[in-house]
Amino acid sequence: MAAMTIAKLAKMKAEGDKIASLTAYDASFSKLFSQHGVDFMLVGDSLGNVVLGASSTLPVTTENIAYHTRAVRNGAPEAFVIADMPFMSYATPEQACQEAATLMRAGANMVKLEGGDWLLDTIRQLVTHGVPVCAHLGLLPQSVNVLGGYKVQGKEASAAENTLRQALALQEAGAQMLVLECVPASLAKRITEQLSIPTIGIGAGKDCDGQILVMHDMLGLNSDYLPKFVKDFLAEAGDLAAAVELYVRQVKDGSFPGPEHSFKG
C-alpha cells in the first residue's frame, strides 16, 4: 500500500471519504493497523494511562513519546504517524520547535498540540520550520485540572461559537488537521463544514471527516471505564484483525459513531 500523506488525507476530506485512525504505541499493533486499513496512527500521550498506568496524561514526557514513535514507525514504515506533544513541552514557540524536532527525528510525520488562541504563534513557528501540525480542541486532557474534570465542551452557545472561531484561527495559523474531542455532534458538524482541513472526531459525532479511538478502548481492554463514545469492536468481531477491519469499515460507511456514541448540544 502506498504511503499515506497529509495531501492524501486532505483529498479524502474533499472527496467525502471518511478517515479511520487509531492510537498505537508499539511495532506489533502498528503493523496490524497498517495492514488492515487504518489511515493514520497517533502515538498519543494516552500512553500515560494505558501503557504506563498513570491516572492522567500529565506524567508523559517527550522522551516517552519519542520511544513509542520509533516503535510504531518500525512496525509500519509507510504509515502516516502523528506524535502527541506532551504536557508543558510547548510552553513557548522555541521549546515547541526543539521538542517537535525530537519527535520528527523519531519517525513522526506530524505533531499534535492541545489548545486554541495561545498556540497560534507556536503553530506558525512550527510550520515555518517544516513541522506539520495537528491541532486539538474541545476536551483537552492536558488541561483537565483547569477544566475541572473530563466534561463535554462547547455545549453553551457562546462556548460553541468560541470553539468554531478558534478552529478557524488554528487553520489560518497553519494547522493541517484538527482533532475535536467530546464536543456536541452539531458543533463538530459546523466546524467540519467550515474548515478546509480534515477534522478527526473522538466523541464528536459522525459528521467529522474521520474518527479516532484509543486502541485499548476500541478493543475493550479498558474494562474499568469505557467512555460513552467508545464501542468494543473486539467483542463483536472475535479477533484482533477482524476488530480492526470492522472499526475501519464502520467508520468508512458512517455507521460508527452512532447517536449513542455522541453528545448533544
Strands (E), 196-264: 199-202, 210-213
- Please report which confidence band the pLDDT of residue 33 belongs to, taking 50, 70 and 90 as the band edges: very high
E strands in the chain = 19-23, 40-43, 81-84, 110-112, 133-138, 177-181, 199-202, 210-213
Is 78 labelled as part of a ligand binding site?
Answer: no
**CB-based contact 8:40 (threshold 8 Å):** no
Q: Which of 181, 236, 245, 260 is catalytic?
A: 181
Q: What are the φ and ψ backbone dihedral angles of 84, each rounded to 5 degrees?
A: -70, 140
Residue 112 marked ligand-binding: yes
Contact 114, 140 (CB under 8 A): yes
- pLDDT tops 80 at residue 113: yes
Instruction: State the pLDDT at residue 147.
Output: 54
Is 181 annotated as catalytic? Answer: yes
- Do the Cβ atoms of 243 and 210 come closer than 8 Å? no
84 has binding-site annotation = yes
Mean pLDDT of the residues in the chain = 94
Pick the CATH number of 6-261 from 1.10.390.10, 3.30.70.260, 2.60.120.200, 3.20.20.60: 3.20.20.60
Confidence of residue 222 (pLDDT cuts 50, 70, 90): confident
pLDDT in tens, 176-195: 999 999 999 999 999 999 99
Q: Is a pLDDT exceeding 80 seen at residue 224?
A: no
pLDDT computed for residue 176 by the predictor = 98
Model's pTM, two decimal places? Answer: 0.95
45 is in an annotated binding site: yes
Cell numbers linked to 10: 486532505
pLDDT at residue 238 in the model: 93
Closest CA to 93 of 70, 60, 68, 125: 125
Binding site annotation covers 121?
no
Q: What is the pLDDT of residues 121-152, one digit of tens each?
A: 999 999 999 999 999 999 888 786 665 555 67
Each residue of 162-171: pLDDT tens digit? 999 999 999 9
Q: Where are the alpha helices (DSSP H) in 107-184?
A: 120-128, 144-147, 157-173
R_g of the chain, CA atoms, integer Å = 17
Query: How do the domains of the chain map onto residue ranges?
Result: 6-261
pLDDT band of 116, cuts 50, 70, 90 = very high
Give the pLDDT of residue 143: 80
Beta-carbon contacts of 72 under 8 Å, excluding residues fewer than 6 positions away, are: 24, 25, 26, 27, 30, 41, 43, 79, 81, 107
Question: Using CA atoms, how far apart are residues 182 and 202, in angstroms rounded to an integer?
Answer: 6
Q: pLDDT exceeding 90 applies to what percent of the chain? A: 87
Confidence of residue 61 (pLDDT cuts 50, 70, 90): very high
Q: Could you give the CA distance from residue 111 to residue 107 in angstroms, rounded to a whole number?
A: 11
Give the per-residue pLDDT at 149: 55
Task: Please give the Cα distance from 60 to 64 (Å, whole number).
Answer: 6
- Residue 13 or 151, more confident: 13
All three cell numbers of 111: 505533531
pLDDT at 234 over 80: yes
Q: Give mean pLDDT, residues 29-58.
A: 95
